[in-house]
């Protein structure tokens, strides 16, 4: 279900989240869509010899869950991305359950722009993506 709150209903401090467990099929589908077949993501033997000791999900796959929250939860339908800043703070492994959260930190009435704090944490509460977004609510 896609939320569609009006700009006027949205308040500083409002939050929304989305959780998903990333499996092998998710990582391979993302690799197929983007063409990013870096062996640390798709080659078990190669990844075993890396600093991570096993395959990890693409950082941008983890960050893309933020888009899910923005487009379907907060602000929801009729939201246009203007910018997204991301910092990858920890690896994401196959089977990790990620929760992306968006929080409204600033509301600019004159242009209908919202500044958002954006984070993704794993099942242990460890932050794997930190950032901020700027969006326009139509």
Mean pLDDT of the 111-134 span: 98
Q: Which two tokens stand for residue 56?
A: 């990890």
Cβ-based burial of 11 (10 A; exposed 0-12, middle 13-18, buried ≥19): exposed
Total domains present in the chain: 1
| Predicted pLDDT of residue 29 | 98
Mean pLDDT of the 2-28 span: 96
Confidence bin at 105 (pLDDT 50/70/90): very high
Q: How far is the C-alpha of 104 from the C-alpha of 62, rounded, in Å?
A: 20
| Predicted pLDDT of residue 14 | 98
In a domain, 123, yes or no: yes
In a domain, 43, yes or no: no
Strands 79-88 and 113-121: unpaired
Flag whether pLDDT at 6 surpasses 90.
Answer: yes
Where in the sequence is the domain holding 128, given as residue range(s)? 7-22+58-137
pLDDT digits (tens, 9 = 90+) for 60-70: 999 999 999 99
| Predicted pLDDT of residue 1 | 82
Q: Which two tokens stand for residue 84?
A: 């997204």
Mean pLDDT of the 85-101 span: 98
Q: Which two tokens stand for residue 50?
A: 């890396």
In a domain, 28, yes or no: no
Q: What DSSP string runs through 59-85? A: HHHHHHHHHHHHHHTSSBTTEEEEEEE
Torsion sign (Cα): 129, 130, 134, 135: positive
Three-class DSSP category at 8 = helix
């Amino acid at each position: 279900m896609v939320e569609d709150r009006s700009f006027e209903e949205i308040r500083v401090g409002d939050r929304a989240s989305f959780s998903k467990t990333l499996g092998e099929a998710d990582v391979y589908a993302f690799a197929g869509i983007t063409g990013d077949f870096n062996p640390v993501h798709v080659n078990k033997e190669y990844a075993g010899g890396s600093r991570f000791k096993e395959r990890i999900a693409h950082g941008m796959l983890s960050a893309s869950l933020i888009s899910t929250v923005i487009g379907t939860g907060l602000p929801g339908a009729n939201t246009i991305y203007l910018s997204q800043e991301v910092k990858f703070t920890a690896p994401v492994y196959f089977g990790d359950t990620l929760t992306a959260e968006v929080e409204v930190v600033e509301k600019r009435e004159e242009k209908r722009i919202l500044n958002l704090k954006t984070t993704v944490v794993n099942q242990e509460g460890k932050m794997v993506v930190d950032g901020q977004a700027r969006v326009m609510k139509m």
